Homo-oligomer: A and B are copies of this chain.
Amino acid sequence: MDIKPDTDMRLTPQRQIILEELSKVKTHPTANEIYDMVRRRLPRIGLGTVYRNLELMAENGLILKLEVGGTQKRFDATTDLHYHIRCLHCGRVDDIDIKTVPQLDQAAADATDWYVLGHHIEFVGICKSCSSSSKQPAIN
């Protein structure tokens, strides 16, 4: 659970470009979306490499793996605590810019005998562009 940002992992071109591309966007792309972005610059990169490196960077605290609802995991280059909202229609995930509630962790620790490490809040709703279109069952 201890995150070590001062890691010894080599900065290969693949890793560097994955990190660059992820940092470029404010969305929270899936592994496949990142694969597509990176492939424009490294056409021969494999999907496995993308997965392996995203996982590794998440372990090292360079990026965040969002374990939110929906079928796919999403990644975030912004590692400080912040909350998200997911569209029930299209699966898109945005940041929610409200102040965090760190005291929740203490409340949770008081309410249980677990060792509490943190929390995440996921709002759900319908994004702007989806609320323009007709209502559909969730895709993601």
Report copies per complex.
Answer: 2
A117 → chain B, closest Cβ, in Å? 5
A107 → chain B, closest Cβ, in Å? 5
CB contact list, A91-111 vs B, under 8 A: 94, 96-98, 101, 104-105, 107-108, 111
Main SS of the interface on chain A? mixed
Which of B108, B122, B128 is the one whose CB lies under 8 Å from A120?
B122
> Is A108 touching B126 in the complex (CB atoms < 8 A)?
no
Please, which residues of chain B bring their CB within 8 A of the CB of A101? 101
Name A's B-contacting residues (CB within 8 A): 1, 67-70, 83, 85, 87-88, 94, 96-98, 101, 104-105, 107-108, 111-128, 131, 135
